[in-house]
Structure 1
């Protein structure tokens, strides 16, 4: 018997597609997962199989955004490596099936924590999860793109220049245009870009606690989720991004700057980085630029979320509350830049 929550697409068309892929089943249950600001995600039960559907959001989409095809490709490529990813089943590029491209993957049971405080856990569990996060990022760093068929997954070299161009362009093209502080941060980053050192790795692009699936009972990462921003990039970009909780407050998308981190069991940024460096090949040195760049990029993402909220196409109906965070992340980035002076 089918059980389907209210959707923006034709569930019957999805059911026909699944029947062709996996064979017909009487049981078809589909429910949207709450939270998330980008690609709409759904739990999908097909007979005895527990699956997940990820699709592009409806409405106008900036070029290169919401790349569910890239999500599917990178997870399929990483299957069998030491990087934990969910098993993917199929990608559908034909937008006429349910209105947008989408893919289906196996559902992995685990825990998701929306903020860096990891509420409800003991200090030892928090510490274990953070250090597992550092080790998981190192495992991603250690995968050579060409060894898993991702040698052409992005343009090699000069990563930060290309990323500044991309996110600066998105900022200029946004309906709201961001804030003066965000433009000032962009200018500082442009003036302080490090020279390209030739390091190339698979870059997740959004590597943080909120995009990790944690083992149901153990303090360790069992799946890395939400790969839509992945590309070939510089490994220190992901590391800088992963360090944002030490630079943002608990009311700024769940940071940890204002928390009693020692009491909570959250390791220092230095310890976190050292754990990463101990497990990553050719790790490199994290600098204030890398952290400020991460804050800038996330601020531009918040600008995009606010624009989609105004247009009525945001994945989260409460997305409008995140718009002010673009300004606050810009200020945190400027603080990081000033500390580097």
Structure 2
């Protein structure tokens, strides 16, 4: 096989987290099938793992590596992220084709930590509402329902069928989640966040039985997709950012989507600080419609205690924003879009407390919600 040697004179000597000349030389020796590396740039917009588009004379690829600074325990596991995407190749779940994983102790990669490389997928990133300028209301509405259906497709994949039977622990997932995010809050706190702490206490004391077990994305939202808009109807071409994937209760994924879907309604701060593409005035469906599309695709009913799941999702996202705030105040970030993350923590936690208040004292045992989730469109 021909051994490609990079021409490095035109390569930037270093990107944040990637020494490109050294990486190009390593690729030439270890993975010549990728071709000669001719350039790279960091993809902006994410708040966690770092992604780079790598240009080669054979095409474009994406390199993923952990963040540079403070990370939460158990997060940013590149091997797990690589493994789940590789396993889902060939299923109805749209994922990029994976190429290779490199462990942290691999020498002379120019990355100095674990990373993996996957194919670049053509598609429109839905990072914020500016993408809606060329979107018709009908397209926005159909994309909303597609978002629910793609999540249902993921949850219908049998873990054992794709080699992921050991990707998580069976049973007790909701209890572990409540405990895990309480632990992460303690590890990431740099200030008082009373609503967040109160919500964590309530969830830890009331976790219901799991509704089932499935492959979870862990951070499912429209921002983590690439969308093909070239056809008659929109199609999610790739679901990205699998760093929080595991096996667990599938309704936790749906609830996380619900919090992200409604960021513009939760609080003025979340509307301003979170770059959401979801704009209901542009034709996006309510989350009630998205949720209905999800349950219809799975042919299962919506449980009456869904507000508990929304409370857990709010707590999880609040803890994540608090971790990002910690990284910002300690100077361990790349990019300027971390500055307002800390402002979101308590408003999101307050949304979780509102969700929790929709449950009476025995709602989790009886499976009945005492009232509609207040001030929301979750049930609309």
Residue of structure 1 aligned with 2:96, choices 64, 76, 86? 86
The answer to whether structure 1 residue 160 and structure 2 residue 174 are counterparts is: yes
Q: Secondary structure at 1:319's aligned position in 2?
A: coil
The question of whether the paired residues in 2 share the 8 Å contact of 1:308 and 1:314 is answered with: yes
- Please point out which of 329, 338, 344 is paired with 1:310: 329
TM-superposed CA distance for 1:283, in Å, is 5.9
Deviations 1:238-284, CA, capped at 9 Å, x for gaps: 01111114543232524589x6x2x4222222221111111115565
Alignment pair present for 1:232 and 2:250: no
Does structure 1 residue 22 correspond to structure 2 residue 32?
yes
For the residue of structure 1 that corresponds to 2:247, the secondary structure is strand
Structure 1 residues 144-188: Cα deviation after superposition (integer angstroms, max 9, x where no partner)? 001000000011111111111111101011241550010111122
Contact map agreement 1:241 1:291 (CA 8 A) in 2: yes
Match of 2:289 in 1: 271
Q: In structure 2, what is the Cα distance between the partners aligned to 1:322 and 1:69?
A: 27
Decide whether aligned partners of structure 1 residues 326 and 117 sit closer, same or farther in structure 2, where only a CA change above 3 A counts.
Answer: farther
User: What RMSD over aligned residues (CA atoms) do the two structures have, in Å?
Assistant: 2.2
Q: How does 1:182-201 map to 2 (within 5 A)?
A: 182-197=196-211, 199-201=212-214
The total of aligned residue pairs comes to 337
Give, in angstroms, the shift of residue 65 of structure 1: 1.4
Q: 1:8 aligns with which of 17, 27, 33?
A: 17
Distance 2:42 2:154 in 1: 29
> In 2, are the aligned partners of 1:42 and 1:54 still within 8 Å (CA)?
yes
Q: Does 2:171 correspond to 1:150?
A: no
Question: In the aligned structure 2, how far is the partner of 1:325 from the partner of 1:278?
Answer: 32
Q: TM-score if structure 1 supplies the norm length?
A: 0.92
Contact 1:181 1:327 in 2 (8 A): yes
Give the whole-Å Cα distance in 1 for the aligned partners of 2:219 and 2:50. 16
Residues in 2 aligned to 1:76 and 1:310: alpha-carbon distance in whole angstroms: 36
User: Alignment partner of 2:176: what SS?
Assistant: helix
Which structure 2 segments of 5+ residues have no match?
A: 1-6, 265-270, 361-380
Uncovered stretches (5+) of structure 1, i.e. residues with no partner: none
Verify: 1:131 aligned to 2:152, yes or no. Answer: no
Mapped contact 1:39–1:56 kept (Cα < 8 A): yes
2-structure distance, mates of 1:178, 1:238: 28
Q: What SS does the aligned partner of 2:339 have?
A: helix
What does residue 319 of structure 2 align with?
300
Rounded to whole Å, the distance in 1 between the matches of 2:286 and 2:239 is 22
Query: Residue in 2 aligned with 1:243?
Result: 258
In the other structure, the counterpart of 2:127 is 114
- Cα deviation per residue 1:24-60 (whole Å; 9 max; x = unaligned)? 8455211011110001110101113110010012244
* 1:284-310 per-position Cα deviation (integer Å, ceiling 9, x unaligned): 526101111111101100011111112
The alpha-carbon distance between structure 1 residues 339 and 283, as it changes in their structure 2 partners (threshold 3 A), is: closer
Match of 1:223 in 2: 238
1:118 Cα shift?
5.3
TM-score (norm 2): 0.83
